[in-house]
Amino acid sequence: MMPLQEARGLTTVMFAVRPCRVPWPRRFCRSLTSYSPKVYAYPFKLSSAQAVAQLDPIVGGSFLRPELQMQKIVPVYFPAWFIDAEVEASVLAGPTALGAKEGRVTVIFNNSYLPGHTMSKLSSISLLSKQLERSRPIPFSPALGNQYDTEVTCLPFKTTPFAILDAVKSLRPDDCVWNNLRIDPSSIHTNLISAYPVLMPLYLAQYASAEDGTRKSMTLTAIVEANHEHGRIIVENFIDPDVASVLPAWMLPDLDEFRYHGAGAANFANISTLTLPPEWNAPEFGSVANWLDTFLTAETLQELVDTDAGKMDDLRIRPFNDEEATSVRTFFRLGEERAEAHTFLNESGANPLQEVKDYTASFDTHRENALPKWWKDWQKSVTEKTKPT
């Protein structure tokens, strides 16, 4: 976490941006009609043989499970959404609603992650990583469907990210209480959101134990992130039931669903900036991203399924390149500077100098001018649709 920044009474909290038994996919790139031109993909940086060489020493066996042997390994392009957004909401801060402080909070999300597919297990983890930050995606082309002379399984996009905004607004107020904060879900307003469709290169490996006449074969799935020569390895955790049945409870570890090697688990929600009322205690927001992650479950992901997800004709869906991301994040940065200017104006008394007023107004103008044209076009289209006929 980066240091707190306090500017003329405005508190801005900066955060570092981070980014089983899986049913085996059967749909290949050659059978897909096409991806939208907006889709970018991270190239594979290692072959299946290299992935196996990294996996075998990690998977192996232990006293909690039998020795496992690899049965197959498949290269997969898993669809995902990276999301940049600036969202405002009314929040009550205090141990009880009575006497709580009310204020408007602005949250900026940079490179938050949403699974683009509902595939079991894979959709329950965030594939953001430090290694991914050092990689650069490229526009998807059919040539990427074959890696190291192997056909890649390309999963289609099944989810759309924008339905989550409506889902959050429809939450009950009692569902939006975190520590001493109460968020009014009906007050949530999105100043700007951009969703980038990307394909994440993975190897899915299936391991199995041998049948010995006394027990059935056990299977385990491992995931290798292939966007880097040494990407994370994610292995399903499980304990041999025969072993678990003879061990006392205190000897059985409390296992998470996956073990991570190379780096730990990543958040889905990645918050880069929180802009708060000046009198609020900023450190209490430190784990807000973890709290937001609890809302993304298998059930809520199903609510985001859209049969037209692959069309991507929504103007808010943008290709993940430098030009698009920079324009959005410039707007965010100017919003932070604008908030600081308004705080300075508010602290200048009842009759601030004209120079102070002009200084503040200039940030309003810069911010408005930085709003991407596609966002203005989208707002216009929404307004036209809601006009009475």
Domain boundary assignment for the chain:
5-321
Provide block-wise average pLDDT over 10 residues at a time, the chain (389 residues). 34 38 47 78 94 85 64 94 93 71 86 91 88 88 91 92 84 77 87 96 87 70 92 78 50 59 85 77 58 76 83 94 94 83 64 68 83 95 80
The pLDDT assigned to 331 comes to: 93
The pLDDT assigned to 347 comes to: 60
Residue type, 63: F
DSSP per-residue letters across 60-126: S-BTTB---EEEEEEEEEEEEEEEEEEEEEEEEESSSSTT-EEEEEEEEEEEEEEESS--TTGGGS-
pTM equals 0.82
**CA–CA separation, 60 and 249 (whole Å):** 24
**CA–CA separation, 335 and 12 (whole Å):** 11
The pLDDT assigned to 25 comes to: 53
**CA–CA separation, 119 and 127 (whole Å):** 14
Instruction: Give bridge partners of residue 134 from the DSSP assignment.
Output: none
174, 43 Cβ separation under 8 angstroms: no
The pLDDT assigned to 385 comes to: 81
Q: What is the DSSP-derived secondary structure letter of residue 218?
A: -
